[in-house]
Amino acid sequence: MRWLAFGTYDVRRHPRVGVLLEGLRASGDEVVEINVPLALDTAGRVAMLRQPWRLPKLAWLLARCWVVLAWRARRAPAVDAVLVGYLGHFDVRLARRLFRRTPIVLDHLVSAAGTAQDRSLTSGGGLKAKLMRRIDRGALAAADLVVVDTPEHLAALPASGVVAPVGAGREWFVRAPRAEGPLRVVFVGLFTPLHGALTIGDALASLAGDERIEVTMVGAGQEYAACRAAASANTRVTWLDWVPFADLPALVASHDVALGIFGTTEKAQNVVPTKVFQGAAAGCAVVTSDTAPQRRTLCDDALFVAPGDASALAATLRSLADDRSLLATFQRRAAARATTHFTAATVVAPIRARLTQPTTPAFQESH
């Protein structure tokens, strides 16, 4: 099967797209890319929602990318399906116009409305909320098949969809030797409400003075300052603004424990974050919030705490520092689950299965 990966996605910023492309190729499919990355990350897009007068900049950047995409599309070979990458809410509309007789698959990992609500940018009935919902509806209507990451997101779709977990690329399946000494814990993220950064900060504060636990916090974002202020009493925390994408897998693999998310927002209850898949692939013990999608995905191969419970998070980290055999057990179990369930080829299997079903309603008639 031949795929065309299309859009303004950026694999360096959004590894999900890279996982899908790796999985398709590993499954024996041919993948042709027409990709012009948009020079604007998620934080920049959120900033524009906070300051709508900056939206013309987004339109200008997008238009520049689209000119190149459209020019390259005219020279593209015939393909069996077009995959529009993550954050393709607008790209999928262009793809629909350019490839009218080809099935369009949209990776709808993040909805515009859900992201805006999670980051407190909209109220339920406000103008921004209505705009975000309209953007989502238009994107979904332009696609023949919509890919989401959890059954919870699938249940909310008004369109034909399939669940494909986030997974991890092959670069994350590293097993670096770990140094003896204190329990080494790592968190990588954008410090959004979804992540529960304040919960992590409070947990770190309660661990101040515990010389058995060292923590590396990687990233910056909405709740970074508040998280760092909450954890200020703990001198055994290293704060890194960011780490180059190519260096992240080795950094995470050098730690004993990878933290997931601990937020209490609606979105936090419905996702399994990228960092959980990556931490497990790197052979870390995973500690994350006890939510339905995460429990379903990780089963008994991770340690769970109640969302928003800083005391429980701190207690779990202390238990791992106390019992190294328990730590080793959960490291082995996380690594084994990742190898079995989180590889790129496994992730794309449900998508490929849907596309090879000739009676799938979404593909009986093109738009």
Are 135 and 219 in the same domain?
no
How many structural domains comprise the chain? Answer: 2
Are 19 and 130 in the same domain?
yes
Reading phi first (left if > 0) and then psi (alpha if -120 to 50, else beta), residue 10 is in beta
Are 328 and 350 in the same domain?
no
φ, ψ (nearest 5 deg) of residue 201: -60, -45
Are 312 and 207 in the same domain?
yes
State both tokens at 357: 């079903």
Domain that holds residue 63: 2-167+344-363
Rounded to the nearest angstrom, the gap between the alpha carbon of residue 347 and the centroid of all alpha carbons in its chain is 13
pLDDT at 364: 44
Are 313 and 187 in the same domain?
yes
Give the CATH number, domain containing residue 10: 3.40.50
List average pLDDT for each run of 10 residues in the chain, which is 367 residues long. 96 91 98 91 58 72 94 95 93 96 93 63 65 87 95 87 96 83 96 94 97 97 95 98 93 97 94 97 98 97 98 98 97 98 98 78 45
The helix or strand, by DSSP H or E, that contains position 237, with its residue range, turns out to be strand 237-240
Are 7 and 122 in the same domain?
yes
Give the CATH number, domain containing residue 291: 3.40.50.2000
Are 335 and 355 in the same domain?
no
- Nearest CA to 181 among 215, 217, 211? 211
Are 188 and 135 in the same domain?
no
For the question of whether the overall pTM of this predicted structure is more than 0.75, the answer is yes
pLDDT at 13: 82
Are 136 and 257 in the same domain?
no
Burial class (CB in 10 A: 0-12, 13-18, 19+), 331: buried
Are 336 and 356 in the same domain?
no
Taking every pair of C-alpha atoms in the chain, what is the biggest distance, in angstroms?
64
Are 195 and 175 in the same domain?
yes
Are 202 and 226 in the same domain?
yes
